[in-house]
Structure 1
Amino acid sequence: MKKTLCFASNNAHKLEEVADVLGDSFTIQTLADIGCTDELPETTGTIPGNSAQKARYVFDHFGVACFADDSGLEVDALNGEPGVDSAFYAGGNKPGEIRSHAANIALLLKNMGDTLNRRARFRTVITLVEADDTGAPVEHQFEGIVAGTILTEPHGTGGFGYDPVFMPDGYTQTFAQMSLAEKSKISHRAKALTGLVGYLRKLKKKGL
């Protein structure tokens, strides 16, 4: 019997990446599937903290095993920015504001200017919250990191977020120029998901 988990997101791009890594070994529910229309809290100020906060919120309010991710682009020349604020670097975290991938990229490139240090890394932390034998919540975290370079202008139309300006180490294409299958092999989210899948498969072998 497949294990059913809720993925705390309705982001179509994220769901596609998650499904590509998890395959058909698990049944994944979205927030919409469980009837959650709430704005999940992201107020801890850290990537691991926000990941845990979102998963715990769904578990506490809807009573289902849930995993949530939080990701960020950490740029050396900007002292780790935009980091936990990556999704709304150029705005979009206030009522009435719209988040824009293009605006985020434009602000990032503007702030980096002509710096020669283009080093950066994508970081994802996934938190799984599930019930133990007593029904109490238990948290497990899995991290994925991929290092690379920020280009001076966007390349490619695939992916989302900062993918058009991020070229991972060892490759000559940005994430936005890669196919989903190529990106899923090396991305930060894929690496974190691999940790999650490994843990879930161990549970299945134990019959849990």
Structure 2
Amino acid sequence: MRRLGSETLVIATHNAGKLKEIGALLAPYGLQCISAGSLGLPEPAETGTTFVENALIKARASAEASGLPALADDSGLCVAALGGRPGVYTADWAERQWFEGPAGRDWYMAMGKVEGLLAEQGPDVDRSGYFACVLAIAWPDGDSAVYEGRVNGTLTWPPRGALGFGYDPVFVPLGATQTFAEIDPEEKHRISHRADAFAKLVAEQFGG
């Protein structure tokens, strides 16, 4: 099992917020994190059909282009009664079409699509689902490692809370009564799918 040393790690993102979040999680382990965006690296097409495939596509592209180890993540919502959808298309479901108004992501529209498809199946539909997060590390020589995290829950309607983003207002984690958008952000980060994946990464990469 290959481990990261005290070195520079490319975070395969052009999102400053994601760089800050991941950088803070990895700072205690002596890693300096820089973003693919700051290096001017292109964003590869996410052509995979699973979270693992897309995370590896992004991590490998950054590692090959930079000559440094790279970390990428891919995450989304999987709903049991919808055959695991929206899955890797979680963000796509929020993309407005040209005839739907200004470009950009409309998460209320995306939540409505999920609810509409569930409602079509009747009042007794299985409303269980989970958020998944895959973290992939890739090295320039082709080595890679993958860590998968998950948080199970149920879908509720109407949306509740203003603290989260994406599908958070309709997702109630197992054992809770509040949605992810109603839970204190620190508590959400402690129990989230991303936290689960990071715990596995840290245990393997930096554990005893």
1:79 aligned partner, one-letter code:
G
Q: Residue 180 of structure 2: which of 171, 175, 178 is its match?
A: 175
Q: Residue 185 of structure 1: which of 187, 190, 206 is its match?
A: 190
Displacement after TM superposition at 1:19 (Å)? 4.3
Matches within 5 A, 1:129-148: 129-131=138-140, 136-148=141-153
| Distance in 2, Cα, partners of 1:43 & 1:93 | 20
Q: Kindly report the root-mean-square deviation, in angstroms, between the aligned alpha carbons of the 2 structures.
A: 2.4
Q: Secondary structure at the match of 2:145?
A: strand
Mark the CA change 1:6 to 1:82 in structure 2 (over 3 Å): closer, same or farther.
same
Mark the CA change 1:115 to 1:10 in structure 2 (over 3 Å): closer, same or farther.
farther
Q: Secondary structure at the match of 1:176?
A: coil
Question: What is the TM-score normalised by the length of structure 1?
Answer: 0.84
* 8 Å Cα contact 1:67/1:129 also seen in 2: yes
Q: Deviations over 1:20-68 (max 9, x none)?
A: 54354332222222222x2322102111111111111111122221111
Question: What is the TM-score normalised by the length of structure 2?
Answer: 0.84
State, as a whole percentage, how many aligned pairs show the same letter.
Answer: 36
Matches within 5 A, 1:19-30: 19=23, 21-25=25-29, 26-30=31-35
Question: Which residue does the alignment assign to 2:118?
Answer: 112
* 8 Å Cα contact 2:10/2:63 also seen in 1: no
2:178 aligned partner, one-letter code:
Q
Displacement after TM superposition at 1:138 (Å)? 0.6
Mark the CA change 1:62 to 1:100 in structure 2 (over 3 Å): closer, same or farther.
farther
Specify every segment of 5 or more residues in structure 2 that has no aligned partner in the other structure, as ranges.
none
* 8 Å Cα contact 2:19/2:34 also seen in 1: no
> Is the counterpart of residue 128 in structure 1 residue 137 in structure 2?
yes
> Is the counterpart of residue 18 in structure 1 residue 22 in structure 2?
yes
Question: Which residue does the alignment assign to 1:59?
Answer: 63
| Distance in 2, Cα, partners of 1:32 & 1:42 | 16
Question: Which residue does the alignment assign to 1:83?
Answer: 87
| Distance in 1, Cα, partners of 2:7 & 2:97 | 34
| Distance in 1, Cα, partners of 2:66 & 2:26 | 23
| Distance in 1, Cα, partners of 2:174 & 2:145 | 28
Displacement after TM superposition at 1:82 (Å)? 0.6
Question: Which residue does the alignment assign to 1:98?
Answer: 104
Specify every segment of 5 or more residues in structure 1 that has no aligned partner in the other structure, as ranges.
none
1:101 aligned partner, one-letter code:
W
| Distance in 2, Cα, partners of 1:122 & 1:58 | 25
Displacement after TM superposition at 1:200 (Å)? 2.6
| Distance in 2, Cα, partners of 1:141 & 1:180 | 26
| Distance in 1, Cα, partners of 2:154 & 2:17 | 22
Aligned residue pairs total 197
Q: Deviations over 1:105-158 (max 9, x none)?
A: 121111111543210011111110024xxxx22100000011001011111112
Question: Which residue does the alignment assign to 2:156?
Answer: 151
1:181 aligned partner, one-letter code:
E
